[in-house]
Chains A and B, each alone.
Chain A
Amino acid sequence: MTIAALLAWSVAVPQLISAGVLVEGQVAALLKSFHQDMTDAQLNAIAAVIVSGAIKVQALAQADMGTMTKAAA
């Protein structure tokens, strides 16, 4: 949750509760949806994105390294 969204919520939620639009249970459910644990599949998908980005970094870096000795002599 971003700071901006958090601030928006901090203003909106008390008003919605006062107006009877939201009840406590609904607020708790909303909070849970924002902060739910990701599944292993979701974490693995993020890991795949990280690996993909890191491979891109390596490809550019290796092109710039040229013929320098790359491993400890």
Chain B
Amino acid sequence: MKKLLILCLLTSACGTAGVSLKQTVTLSLQTSETLLEGAQTIERQLCFNTPATESGPTCTNTLGIAAGLNLMKPNPNKASELITVHQLIAFYFNEAGKYEQLAATALPAWKAGDPAPSSVATYQADILAVLSEAQQLLPTPGVKAFVDKAQATVDAGAVIATAVGVK
């Protein structure tokens, strides 16, 4: 018994077995949310010279401009309308924030065996879209940090999606 207890400490297996699934997914969503905020902060630092006071569709920071944040792409809501890459990323951040709120409300009430809340899959799709846009930027200083943070956000989201059984 003594050896078993020590083994539990060494492997932390006791921890994963003792904690409910909904606790795991709620805490993973909290992790993902913190990472999402971090990714947005890095992207806005790349985009703006003074992100605390600047906002809008056009970037002013030469690093972000060189990375391609001011290039134009079609608006996913209206293909004939061109928007900046920064606007497009902001759009996906906004969508991620919306579905994250819905997931945060749904997950504490969710139980193992229940259908996966649809907000989880939509949230995951939105943060994947942020990651995809980040990966298409040119590798100027700061871009790697943005990609890494977006990837970590996606990874935390994937834990939730897998746990609740998103297909």
Question: What is the 8 Å Cβ interface bit string for chain A, positions 27-70, against chain B (1 contact, 0 not)?
Answer: 11001101111101001101111110111111011111110111
User: In the complex, are the beta carbons of B5 and A47 less than 8 A apart?
Assistant: no
A64 contacts B90, C-beta separation under 8 Å: yes
Contact among A31, A43, A55, A61 with B108 in the assembled complex (CB-CB below 8 Å): A43
Majority DSSP secondary structure for residues of A touching B: helix
Taken together as a complex, chains A and B put the C-alpha atoms of A10 and B13 apart, in Å, by 13
Query: Which residues of B, 143-160, contact A by the 8 Å Cβ criterion?
Result: none
Inter-chain contact B23/A55, CB cutoff 8 Å = no
We find that the number of chain B residues with CB closer than 8 angstroms to chain A is 49
Complex Cα gap A40–B1 (Å)? 32
Please name all residues of chain B whose beta carbon is closer than 8 Å to the beta carbon of A51 when the two chains form the complex: 101, 104-105
Assess the A55–B101 pair: CB atoms within 8 A. Answer: yes
Contact check, A68 vs B57: say whether CB atoms are below 8 A apart.
Answer: yes
CB pairs A–B below 8 angstroms (30 shown): A6-B9, A9-B9, A14-B6, A17-B2, A17-B6, A24-B1, A27-B5, A31-B14, A31-B18, A35-B19, A47-B26, A50-B101, A51-B105, A53-B34, A53-B36, A54-B36, A54-B98, A57-B93, A57-B94, A57-B96, A58-B98, A61-B90, A61-B91, A63-B56, A64-B47, A64-B56, A66-B87, A68-B81, A68-B87, A73-B78
Q: Which 6 A-B pairs have the closest CB atoms?
A: A64-B90, A58-B97, A61-B94, A63-B55, A35-B18, A50-B104
- Listed in ascending order, the chain A residues whose CB lies under 8 Å from chain B are 1, 6, 9-10, 13-14, 17, 24, 27-28, 31-32, 34-38, 40, 43-44, 46-51, 53-58, 60-66, 68-73
